[in-house]
Structure 1
Amino acid sequence: MKNKYSDQCLEEKMVKYSDLIRIKTKENNEKLVKLDGSTIPNGYVLEFSEMKKITGENIFVRETIAEKLNNAQTDIKKKCSNLSLFVTFGFRDLSVQTIRFLNELKNQNKFYADPSDLYEAVHRYIAVPNVAGHPTGGAIDIIIVDKDTQKTIDFGGKQYDYRTKNCYVFTNTITQKQKENRMLLRTTLIDVGFAPFDGEWWHFSYGDREWAYFYKKRGAIYNQITYEDLSKFML
């Protein structure tokens, strides 16, 4: 009961769809760039490989995100030379986000008298498209790997495991060492300007609505990019 109550408290404190929809955006037209694998190792995982149809094996992010990742990589190597950041997702086409959202919407088997509560419930698993960070090119999914073993360090839960509470950054269901590993990732990314999302230990962003909410900015600087406009944002 203790862990369940604790996780409920964590959920109440997480940023919600209703928080994000109120935040205004003013697109700054910053370009998308391909992540350089020699600097920031990256690659899609099987569960989230839909973008390969659009960008191939390449992961794209906004220019500033790439710069901040380079800085974060330098910082983490100073802390431990055998560790490296590894990005598993960046820009997600809005159509891909929408399909995932609609699929999760169909999976809801509970009646909500207020439709907004339904959106909030789904948003916990997959962001509502019009406020989602990945379609802006400003959000990333990221882990830390041990270069000696080529394996992910122990975060106390598999990445993209949304169905358990282990995805919550501050869950009480993990060990002290696993908490320390999550804090290593979190502090490294925050130190270079990324905003964390407490509902997913692997998710960080800059320039989107979540970033604006976390840092109490006047508004977001990146908006969602549609497939039709994608070419305008490519360098």
Structure 2
Amino acid sequence: MNVTDSTHRPIADIAEPQWEAIAAIPIADEGAPLHPLSLAAPTLRTLPIYHTLGVPRAVPECWTREALYRRLLSVARHLPDGLGLVVLDAWRPYVVQRYLYDTLLGMVEARYADLDAADRRVLTRAFVSPPSERPECPSPHLTGGAVDVTLCDADGLLLDMGSAFDEARASSHTVHFEHHADEAESRTWRDRRRILYHAMVDAGFANLPSEWWHYSYGDQMWAWYHGEPRALFGPTAPDSLEARWHRSLGLTE
């Protein structure tokens, strides 16, 4: 992986996801467990953003599958000197996904009351996926195959990327500053996004074009962008004490 010159590599326009086609991709999940990314410190930094922001029932850890864990470590180790990778969110409980979607949809409905319901759902989906626990089509973060990431400086201070994480606005689109970089500040934002994008994509991730921070590996969106015949990860959850007791006693859960 070579990201030292990535500020000179433009981000090409990214195809908009075709959600019906993505939902039709079969999933072949072998049941790989989730791992806490806090164990990767100090190479990789984590900031469980929804827990920090007080979102109800958000978890205080960033959990992800081993394949992502190792790729994120590789990205962090190969960033240019003075930069660090920060994971803001990874596996996300269904109840949190439901809260995020319902809350944003309510705000979109209030702001764009003149639009029909279908258009308001499209606007909402650009930033929050509809909540789903269905084994054949789960919400991306429920699989442990989606992560939200950003960059920090050597002291751990988050860098300005041109829009804040989860801002529902046009400037949050990954390539926005490829087309709107008329001033030095916006060129800085463009270059930081280039560094993050190329580091993640070169490590095998796929980016959601409406969110500069959202990347996935192994979920259905990743499979669609990479032309894979099947996704690797379905819905999952961190192991629990109760589940361990069930297994050790030979009980059905």
TM range (shorter): 0.7 to 0.9
Per-residue CA deviation, residues 121-149 of structure 1 (Å, 9 max, x unaligned), is 3211211223421111111111110114x
- The CA distance in 1 between the partners of 2:55 and 2:198, in whole Å, is 28
The equivalent of 1:97 in structure 2 is 97
Q: Is the 8 A contact 1:94 1:224 kept in 2?
A: no
Over aligned residues, Cα RMSD in angstroms? 2.6
* 1:139 aligned onto 2:149: no
Match of 1:17 in 2: 19
- Preserved CA contact (<8 Å) 1:17 1:120: no
Q: Are the aligned partners of 2:207 and 2:214 in contact in 1 as well (CA < 8 Å)? A: yes
Give CA-to-partner distance per residue, 1:164-220, whole Å, 9 cap, x none.
211001113442221111010001011111111111001101011110111011121
**Distance in structure 2 (CA, Å) of the matches to 1:65 and 1:22:** 23
- Letter of the 1:112 partner, please give it: D
Deviates more, 1:22-31 or 1:42-51: 42-51
Cα separation, partners in 2 of 1:138 and 1:193, compared to 1, 3 Å: same
How many residue pairs get aligned? The number is 213
Indicate which of 164, 167, 170 corresponds to 2:172.
Answer: 167
Cα separation, 1, equivalents of 2:202 and 2:103: 35
TM, length-normalised to structure 1: 0.80
Question: Does the alignment pair 1:197 with 2:208?
Answer: yes
The answer to which of 198-207 and 130-139 deviates more is: 130-139
Q: Which runs of 5+ in 1 are unaligned?
A: 1-9
Larger radius of gyration: 2
Identity %: 21
Q: How does 1:53-92 map to 2 (within 5 A)?
A: 53=57, 55=59, 57-76=60-79, 80-92=80-92
Find the counterpart in structure 2 of residue 187 from structure 1.
198
Determine which of 188, 195, 204 is the counterpart of 1:177. 188
Maintained 8 Å contact 1:50/1:96: no
Q: 1:219 to 1:110 in 2, by over 3 A?
A: farther
Contact 1:16–1:120 (Cα < 8 Å) also in 2: no
